[in-house]
């Protein structure tokens, strides 16, 4: 495993734990070059997952797209990278259980919004504003108002 700080090729594993719901393995590592400590998450590589878009087009599931969308929404928010990684692992597992190998894109967005709403309401509003494609400021204001009611 390459160090994310100095790119040294050798690291040692300090601690290994099962992730939430036993869906992944979390490893705490230390670089043998610079001593930097970091965490990696190992999960099952899911092959053959297909996303069915709203217009019926099918495309290969891309975890990186999911990660990028969540990271944009969570930018400068107090959400740890590890928390995002664990959320993605759990969401993918739920989606696969619910839909099998063909996952509707709407379901992906709904699962992400539900999780972000629980974790950080600002990140939720950011994600929802893109996902729901609000037509005007009143729709956005209504969504924020609904968040206040739920609390």
Which residues are registered as beta bridge partners of 42? 25
Nearest of 100, 131, 99, 98 to residue 113 by alpha carbon:
131
Q: How far apart are CA 17 and CA 2, in angstroms?
A: 20
What pTM was computed for the model? 0.70
> For the chain, percent helix, then strand, then coil, each to nearest 5?
50, 20, 30
Q: What is the mean pLDDT of residues 57-81?
A: 94
Per-residue pLDDT tens digits for 36-45 = 999 988 877 7
């Amino acid at each position: 495993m390459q160090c994310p700080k100095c790119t040294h090729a050798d690291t040692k594993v300090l601690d290994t734990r099962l992730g939430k719901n036993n869906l992944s393995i979390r490893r705490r590592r230390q670089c043998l070059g610079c001593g930097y400590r970091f965490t990696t998450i190992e999960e099952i590589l899911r092959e053959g997952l297909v996303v069915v878009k709203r217009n019926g087009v099918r495309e290969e599931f891309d975890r990186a797209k999911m990660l990028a969308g969540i990271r944009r929404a969570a930018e400068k928010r107090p959400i740890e990278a590890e928390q995002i990684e664990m959320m993605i692992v759990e969401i993918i597992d739920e989606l696969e259980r619910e839909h099998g190998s063909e996952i509707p894109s709407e379901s992906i967005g709904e699962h992400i919004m539900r999780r972000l709403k629980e974790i950080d309401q600002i990140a939720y509003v950011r994600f929802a504003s893109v996902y729901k494609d609000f037509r005007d400021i009143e729709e956005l204001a209504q969504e924020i108002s609904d968040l206040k009611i739920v609390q």
